[in-house]
Amino acid sequence: MAILAIGSDHAGYEFKEKLRHWLESQGHQVNDFGTHSLDSVDYPDFAHPVASAVEEGNAVFGLLLCGSANGVAITANKHQGIRAALCWTPEIASLARQHNNANIVCIPARFVTYAEAENILSTFLNTDFEGGRHERRVEKISC
């Protein structure tokens, strides 16, 4: 299975913990970059290490959670080679992988149920990039 990097702020903490255990039960190696409590924290402190792990090849994919997932997605996308996608349905997660070759899934913990989050993550991890015409587009993303 894959090596994954995960992180969240306080709003995503509970989902992160459950998803970490679920991923490990599926045979994935999970590098948890925090947070490790419900105490209020700043999401960039956790999004940057996850993005760096993916960017440097120390993880195949990343998972980031915060209340809306906007903050972690914006932060992660500052890293070259990162394509962090905000996904609130399995269909969006599938398209993010198929068409955008996304390598970090960002889930809005305040707007989905845990079951939906697990389904989004599963879809993301089990969907391949289609390449073809999408490859050309993905190559145009980096500055």
Which residue among 10, 21, 87, 99 is the active-site one? 99
- How far apart are alpha carbons 112 and 5 in whole angstroms? 21
On the question of pLDDT at 132 being above 90, the answer is: no
Mean pLDDT over each residue of the chain, to the nearest integer: 96
Contact 92, 106 (CB under 8 A): no
On the question of pLDDT at 1 being above 80, the answer is: no
We find that the CATH architecture of domain 3-139 is 3-Layer(aba) Sandwich (3.40)
- How far apart are alpha carbons 45 and 8 in whole angstroms? 9
Nearest to 43 by CA among 8, 16, 70: 8
On the question of pLDDT at 105 being above 80, the answer is: yes
What is the per-residue pLDDT for 142? Answer: 81
Which residue among 21, 36, 48, 66 is the active-site one? 66
More confident residue, 42 or 131: 42
Active-site annotation holds for 66: yes
- How far apart are alpha carbons 97 and 101 in whole angstroms? 5
Q: What is the largest CA-CA distance in the chain?
A: 45
- How far apart are alpha carbons 11 and 110 in whole angstroms? 7
The amino acid at residue 6 is: I
Burial 28-64 (b: 16+ CB within 10 A, else e): bebbbbbbeeeeebebbebbbebbbbbbeeebbbbbb
What value does the mean pLDDT take over residues 3-21? 98
Q: DSSP class of residue 12?
A: G
CA distances from 122 to 41, 44, 74, 118 (A): 27, 24, 22, 6
Q: Tell me: the pLDDT tens digits for 50-63?
A: 999 999 999 999 99
